[in-house]
Amino acid sequence: MKIAILGGTFNPPHIGHLIISERAYSVLKLDRVFFIPANIPPIKEKFTEIGKHHRLKMTQLATKDNPHFTVLDWELQRGGVSYTIDTVDEIRAKLSPTEIYLIMGWDQALIFDKWKDPDKLLELCKPIVFTRPGYEGTLPEILRNSQTLPLHIDVSSSMIRDMLIRGESIRYLVPNTVISYIYKHKLYGVKGHDFFLAR
């Protein structure tokens, strides 16, 4: 089985996550893409936890209509700080994939040399780095020969959260099922109903 993994907080999941995963699936001829919500991210400086059960449910809602996307809650079940190398070891032991691709956004790729055991990760996985508009910087030497693909929209979970705080519509940036969930559970300080979907 040829797979890719996409880790993250998914706080919340958005179309950028879905687009890069579908792109990787298509370009790399994968059998499956695994979305893996982190329990506690090791590097995020500011991490606003809304409840890991909410992040898991939103990721499941965002991916449920795609038959080659699967959500794994292993890092949430494991607890503590989530390190990709530990998850890759678990995937190899339980699923025995023939190839593992590691999907990374540009911001995470820039600090890949600060990840836990980056050299071992590259022995076990093939990185695929997605660039974003307006993002600059040089990849660390360890990733210089990595395959890159463009992501032509600039969207992030922090941008989505800021828009919600300002009371702005996030329609078309986040799946409708996730928007409804956010408003139903009053996440990120939203008030009222998901009226942007009702118009």
pLDDT at 46 over 80: no
Q: Confirm whether 167 is domain-assigned.
A: no
Q: Which of 46-50, 99-103, 168-172, 178-182 has the lowest mean pLDDT?
A: 46-50
CATH number at residue 67: 3.40.50.620
Residue 182 located in a structural domain: no
> Does residue 194 sit within a domain?
no
Q: Is residue 69 part of a domain?
A: yes
Domain-located, residue 180: no
Contact 96, 133 (CB under 8 A): no
- Looking at residue 192, its pLDDT comes to 73
Residues in the chain: 199
Alpha carbon distance 55, 48 (integer Å): 11
Domain count within the chain? 1
* Average pLDDT rounded to a whole number, residues 152-167: 92
Cα–Cα dist 31/140, whole Å: 29
Is residue 166 in some structural domain? no
List, for residues 68-112, the tens digit of each pLDDT value.
999 999 999 999 999 999 999 999 999 999 999 999 999 899 999
Q: The domain containing residue 56 runs over which residues?
A: 2-154
Q: Rounded CA gap, 21 and 4, in Å?
A: 8
pLDDT band for position 194 (50/70/90)?
low
CA–CA gap between residue 94 and residue 86 (Å, rounded):
12
**Does residue 97 form part of some domain?**
yes
Mind spelling out the 3-state secondary structure of the chain? CEEEEEEECCCCCCHHHHHHHHHHHHHHCCCEEEEEECCECCCCCCCCCCCHHHHHHHHHHHHCCCCCEEECCHHHHHCCECCHHHHHHHHHHHHCCCEEEEEEEHHHHHCHHHCCCHHHHHHHCEEEEEECCCCCCCCCHHHCCCEEEECCCCCCHHHHHHHHHCCCCCECCECHHHHHHHHHCCHHHCCCCCHHHHC
Domain annotation covers residue 8: yes
